[in-house]
Amino acid sequence: MRISRQSRSSNHLRRIVAEMGIPVPWNRDQLVAGVAARRGRPIHLVPVSHSLVQGGHSGLWLARAEDDVILYAAGTSDVHATHIICHELAHMELGHDRTALGDRSVDATALSKAAPSVDPSSVVTALGRSNYSSAQEYEAELLATLLMARRGGNTSAATTDPRASRILGSF
Ligand SMILES: [Zn+2]
């Protein structure tokens, strides 16, 4: 029997979710702490204005020498912000930094303005949408959606997004 690429990928992602050992339901702090513990590096969440994180992606992963910073678009709902953070955590869990494409430098001027608490010179690599292949983006979004589905409480963002519903429906 032929196993489709889609279901192989789904199994892989389900295995990652199981390995993460997150409580159901989880809260954002527990999830972030769990991923940080698995990576052996602290993860800091920094809300920023939309101007820094564009392209509909709404999140950016800044890798530093000793920790990781997730910038996420502020001024959105808590559920949406959590989904953005889940997406960036998914890129971490999937090791997408190892195969990142293109320019990985941070725009120091934009960063200083959007997130004054983050010293641009401390950023080793900045990973946003343009640094990933579309297959990686799809995989990260799928994993984020799986995580959001286990969040409990108000999951309206995961169920009203037609793409997310389609993804969930395919499992
Ligand atoms: Zn992404």
Question: In Å, how far are 50, 88, 108 from 143, measured between CA atoms?
Answer: 23, 10, 30
Separation of CA 88 and ligand 1 centre (Å):
6
Q: What is the pLDDT of residue 93?
A: 97
Cα of 2 to ligand 1 centre, how many Å?
Answer: 29
State the distance from the centre of ligand 1 to the C-alpha of 32, rounded, in angstroms.
Answer: 17
pTM of the model: 0.84
Q: What is the pLDDT of residue 164?
A: 53
- Predicted confidence at residue 55, as pLDDT, reads 55
C-alpha distances out from residue 24 to 28, 49, 151, Å: 12, 31, 6
Instruction: Going from the first residue of the chain to its last (171 residues), give the mean pLDDT of each consecutive group of 10, the final group possibly shorter.
Output: 66 93 91 96 92 71 97 90 95 95 91 92 93 94 94 56 50 40
Q: Which residue(s) pair with 69 in the sheet? A: 44, 62
pLDDT of residue 152: 78
Alpha-carbon distance of 119 to 144, in angstroms, equals 28
Give the model's pLDDT for residue 22: 87
What's the confidence (pLDDT) of residue 161?
A: 52
Token pair 């793409």 is found at 163
The pLDDT score that the predictor gives to residue 158 is 45
